[in-house]
Chain A
Amino acid sequence: MLRFTKKSHDVLAGVGLAALGLFAAAEAYTYGLMRFGSIASGLFPFVVGLLLAAIGLAIAAGAILSVSAEKPAAFAGGRAVLLLPASVLLFAVLVDRAGLAPATFAATFTSALSVERSTLLGSLLVAACVTLCCVLIFRFGLGIQVSVFKW
């Protein structure tokens, strides 16, 4: 399990946000700040980006200067951290290629497995039921324009 101290992750996050802000400001600068005396597309994101960079640095500096007890923060969630995003990605990959039903089944099955108490058979069963309900509600109830199966 990954473990960071509270202090180090505050520093890390602050620096990360500052980097994001600087990157955004630099990118926004290329859109132009002013054009013919009026505000161009870049000014607003440029200023906000610099602001984010300043706040990020302040957070990092505050964390370095602070003397609070360093409580370790554990990454909770277990395998769900990987399996839940993966289930949405599976849906994304399958929905245009295989259709609504296979995509929903893949997503719900994968997400069912992310609960630690789950069993393979139980997950298959739950995924099948949820898929059936979703297809009935969305395709036939609400009439969304996605084919149920594509071959």
Chain B
Amino acid sequence: MVSWLPNGMADGVMIAMSAQNVIYCILGVTVGMVVGVLPGVGVLTTIALLMPLTFYIDPMTAITMLAGIYYGAVYGGSTAAILLNIPGTASAAVTTLDGYPMAKQGRAGVALFMTTIASFVGSVLGIVLLAAFAFPLARFALEFRSQELFALMFLALVMSSMISSGSALKAFAMVAFGLLAGSVGTDVSTGVHRFTFGAVPLYSGLSLVAIALGLFGLAELIRSANAKDQHSVVATDISMKAMLPTRDDWRRSWMPMLRGTAVGSFFGALPGTGGTVAAFVSYLLERRISRHPERFGQGAIEGIAAPEAANNSAIPTAFIPLLSMGIPGDAILALVLGVLMIHGVSPGPLFMANEPDMFWSIVVSFLLANALLLILNIPLIGVWVRILAIPQTVLLPSIVGLLCIGVYSVSYQVADLYVLVGFGIAGYLLALLHYPIAPFLLGFVLGPMMEENFRRAMALQNGDLLGFFHRPISAVILTLVIVILAATLVLRLRSIRRVRVAAATSD
């Protein structure tokens, strides 16, 4: 093999570009877009719905397909955001701010085109960062012991609770609930059955697929089944001529794209934050530095280019901590991690050192997925518009069929279907009560890993809890966690008091 290339790169490229992988990537991108474009179906739901499809193929191909599904879902979300004014995904919510006004001005085609370009630019730059930083970080992380891993996971849980919309307290409750759900089953270090209450199917723990599909699939279906507001697709001129941005559009878009990429790469790599935060921050940044901030919200093309680039560059950079340290930054990556582990792949410094070819094949399949979307998305916009018009009466039963068979076929356990129903109802109720669901999933996936690392660390420290502060990196991270928690508590108490004082004086 060519010796000047990084170790395993040539092999990885060969694997990713094999005919079989390319076909599955095309398949992944297509189904990802088809499902992702559906109103109310987010990236997480799309991946949850489609991940059973990857269980029948070998891990390498499955990862390629998963990458395709992930990117397809993100692109699909943006398309729905522009054409319908309802974001298919949370991070596409920002795109609706200027995308929908553009659609109403008859410039939906331009908006979709620029979204595709900005997403592509953001993704490719993010992938370059992933390729550049994953190995150095993994070498650094080889020094990590259980203390550091525990501290990092703790940070990811706290950060993801802080940024979820609404009450941080409710998010913390969901994290704790998720951690508890993660401890159901046989304790790997002692063999004790926890929270199984004698039910044999629970010995192996709750099924990730069933939980994810319950919380994000079934719950979402119940809520959207009879949603009052029926959205209508904006009539769109989708001829190629109407879609091409003007010279002025290009001139105003390229700098925001680059700034968006920078913002997105930063927030993507940070544990706990991700595409949604990146998109919001980059939108606010563009409005702040614009000479005409009043144009934002009225169909400013910068308001699409920047957040779309940010959102998409956050995806590959979020894989930097996931692949090099084994730590998922948000719920979507927690799900991806779960799927990887089902396929027998456990990311981390050892994975990077021992299986560089697999790493490179992931990088290349990201590139492949983006290139495919660039080619497929624009000519197929007419098809996506038609998918948006599929009536509920056909859509809903199809998704239910997919849900049932998908969950059941993972391990042919009827019990998994009961878990699906239970978490479907729980997810529906929790969403009604404004509890964020994503922190639950992160807690569920991280729980067993945190417990194991905590135990190992405590054994190494001879049971001394303060041992976590004797190692510099874990001490810094844990101090950060404590500062964040304390600051939240103080701010919360202060806001309660202020509201009460205000209420008392107004009476």
Please give the residue numbers on chain A whose beta carbons come within 8 Å of chain B beta carbons, in ascending order. Answer: 9-10, 13, 17, 20-21, 24, 27-28, 31-32, 35, 37-42, 44-45, 48-49, 51-52, 55-56, 58-59, 62, 65-68, 73, 75-81, 84-85, 87-89, 91-92, 95-96, 100, 103-104, 107-109, 111-112, 114-118, 122-123, 126-127, 130-131, 133-134, 138, 142-146
In the complex, what residues of B have CB within 8 A of residue A79's CB? 226
Q: Is B455 located at the chain interface by the 8 A CB criterion?
A: yes
- Does B389 touch A at the CB level, under 8 Å? no
Residues of A within 8 A of B172 (CB): 55
Query: Contact at A65–B496, with CB atoms within 8 Å?
Result: yes
For residue B396, which residues in chain A have a CB less than 8 angstroms away from its CB? 111-112, 114-115
Contacts A9-B433, A126-B394 given; does A84 touch B424 at CB 8 Å? yes
Q: Given A17-B173, A92-B418, A144-B409, A126–B393 Cβ distance below 8 Å? A: yes
CA distance A142 to B402 in the complex (A): 13
CB distance from B160 to the nearest CB of A (A): 15
Question: Could you say which residues of chain A place their CB within 8 Å of the CB of B425?
Answer: 85
Within 8 Å CB of B169, what residues of A?
Answer: 55, 58-59, 62
Does B404 lie within 8 Å of A116, measured CB to CB?
no
Q: Which of A13, A49, A58, A96 contacts B433 (CB 8 A)?
A: A13
> In the bound complex, how far is the Cα of B213 from the Cα of A84, in angstroms?
13
Q: Report chain B residues within 8 Å CB of A134.
A: 401-402, 405
The answer to whether B398 touches A130, judged by C-beta atoms less than 8 angstroms apart, is yes
CB distance from B402 to the nearest CB of A (A): 7
Q: Pick 30 A–B contacts, CB within 8 A, sort by A.
A: A9-B433, A10-B433, A17-B173, A17-B177, A21-B180, A28-B194, A31-B194, A38-B458, A40-B190, A41-B187, A41-B189, A51-B176, A55-B173, A59-B167, A67-B499, A75-B432, A81-B222, A84-B222, A85-B424, A88-B400, A88-B403, A89-B421, A111-B396, A112-B393, A114-B225, A118-B393, A127-B397, A130-B398, A138-B409, A146-B409
Contacts of B221 in A (CB 8 A): 80, 84, 111
Extra 9 A-B pairs, beta carbons < 8 Å, given A44-B179, A77-B225: A52-B173, A81-B428, A84-B400, A91-B408, A92-B414, A114-B226, A116-B226, A117-B392, A123-B397
Contact B226 A122, beta carbon cutoff 8 Å: no
Minimum C-beta distance from A95 to chain B (A): 6
Which residues from chain A contact B424 at a C-beta distance below 8 Å? 84-85, 88
Q: Are B405 and A100 in contact (CB under 8 A)?
A: yes
B133 interface residue, CB < 8 Å from A? no
- B454 → chain A closest CB, angstroms: 7
Chain A residues in 8 Å Cβ range of B194:
28, 31, 41-42, 45
Q: Are A103 and B404 in contact (CB under 8 A)?
A: yes
- B residues with a Cβ closer than 8 A to A are 53, 56, 167, 169-170, 172-173, 176-177, 179-180, 183, 187, 189-190, 192, 194-195, 218, 221-223, 225-228, 392-394, 396-398, 400-405, 408-409, 412, 414, 417-418, 420-421, 424-425, 428, 432-433, 435, 447, 451, 454-455, 458-459, 463, 496, 499-500, 503
- The secondary structure that dominates the A interface is helix
Min CB distance A76 to B, Å, is 6
A79 to B393, CA, bound (A): 14
How far does the alpha carbon of A59 sit from the alpha carbon of B458 in the complex, in Å? 32
- Most chain A CB within 10 A, of B179, B187, B400, B428, is at B400
Give bound CA distance, A115 to B226, whole Å.
Answer: 6
Residues of B with C-beta under 8 A to A109: 397
Partner of A24, one of B180, B190, B223, B412: B180
A13 in contact with B500 given A76-B223, A126-B394, A126-B397 (CB within 8 Å): no
Tell whether, in the assembled complex, residue A59 and residue B454 are in contact, meaning their CB atoms are under 8 Å apart.
Answer: no
Closest 4 CB pairs of A and B: A80-B225, A92-B417, A108-B397, A52-B176
Q: CA of A48 to CA of B341 in the docked complex: distance in angstroms?
A: 24
**Central interface residue in A48, A107, A145, by most chain B CB within 10 Å:** A48
Residue of B whose beta carbon sits closest to that of A89: B421
What are the residues of chain B within 8 A of A84 when measuring CB–CB? 218, 221-222, 225, 400, 424
Task: Please give, as numbers and ranges, the residues of chain B lying within 8 Å of A81 by CB-CB distance.
Answer: 222, 428
Q: Is the CB of B173 within 8 A of A56?
A: yes
Contact, CB under 8 Å: A138 / B225? no
CB < 8 Å neighbour of A95 from B170, B414, B454, B463? B414
Q: A107 and B183 in contact (CB under 8 A), knowing A27-B195, A41-B192?
A: no
